[in-house]
Amino acid sequence: MSFLAEKELFIFDMDGTLYLGDRVLPCAVEFIKKLRAAGKRVVFYTNNSTRGSADYLERLERLGFEPSQQEILSSGDVTAEFLLRERRGKKVFLVGTPELERDYSQRGIVLDRDADIVVSAFDTTLTYEKTATACKLIYRGAEFFSTHMDTCCPTDTGFVPDSGAIAALLAAATGKKPRFFGKPDGTALDIITAKTGITRDKMCMFGDRLYTDIAFGKNNGVTAVLVLTGEATLADAAACPAASRPDYIFPTLEQVCRAMGV
């Protein structure tokens, strides 16, 4: 376990890594506490864009993780920061939940049905009307962004369609592919480094998906650890090209805790 001792910042995916629905996975809370007691920094980074940062703060507090607002990052946050930095003042049509709409409006992003940009997210309130409006805008020339490329989301009752599936629907209808901002895109690492001052070689990413969490680490110089409590299986990892395989694999975070003596 010496590789853990060498790292200063630990980035955790949430769904499928720390919890499934409202069920906290074994030893997840204990592992976070152990890292903090050892003087390590923690970031909770989810591709799930159904909620705003304040909502994730409440959720993680309720589940026992004792987070601070500065420790929480979502693909919705990363997309919003890009919009405010690179597209400030542009109108956005958001294919997202009411919670994400509220979060974007509070940040100062102008939401409108007659927009310059379409942003699709993990929308559990998706309707045909929303998809039709988004397609019409994209056909007309609106830029097409998506918060993240995950095609399905693990829950305590199984998998449900995620942002990538919704973006694929819009792409199939319009012939236009979006720019994705969540994992594995490295934009979030610039935000994390700016907040913490910690370089990528001192970071470690824990996640359950190969094409997002693990690729986020492998593509951006961050140690990548796969846990088998969500989407990916050991067979999936073995089938990856050597350069894309996780640096380490654990069945669960509980095994990590045991190896650390937690």
The DSSP string of 153-165 is: EEETTEEEE-HHH
Which of 7-11, 52-56, 160-164, 172-176 has the least mean pLDDT? 52-56
- In the block, tokens 């934009």 appear at 187
Q: What is the pLDDT of residue 262?
A: 55
Q: How far apart are CA 138 and CA 93, in angstroms?
A: 10
Q: Which residues of 210-226 are buried (b: 16+ CB within 10 A; e: fewer)?
A: bbbbbbbbbebebbbbb
Among left, alpha and beta (phi > 0; psi -120 to 50; other), residue 42 is: beta
Query: Taking 60 as the threshold, does the pLDDT of residue 252 lie above it?
Result: yes
With 0-12 / 13-18 / 19 or more C-beta atoms within 10 angstroms meaning exposed / middle / buried, residue 131 is middle
Mean of per-residue pLDDT scores for the chain: 93
pLDDT tens for 203-224 read 999 999 999 999 999 999 999 9
Neighbours of 256 (CB within 10 A): 22
Query: Taking 60 as the threshold, does the pLDDT of residue 33 lie above it?
Result: yes
3-state helix, strand, coil in the chain (%, to 5): 45, 20, 35
Whole-prediction pTM value?
0.89
Length of the chain: 262
Q: Read off the tokens for 224.
A: 């990548």
Q: How confident is the model at residue 50 (pLDDT cuts 50, 70, 90)?
A: very high
Q: How confident is the model at residue 256 (pLDDT cuts 50, 70, 90)?
A: confident
Pseudo-torsion of CA 165, 77, 195, 46, nearest 10°? Answer: -40
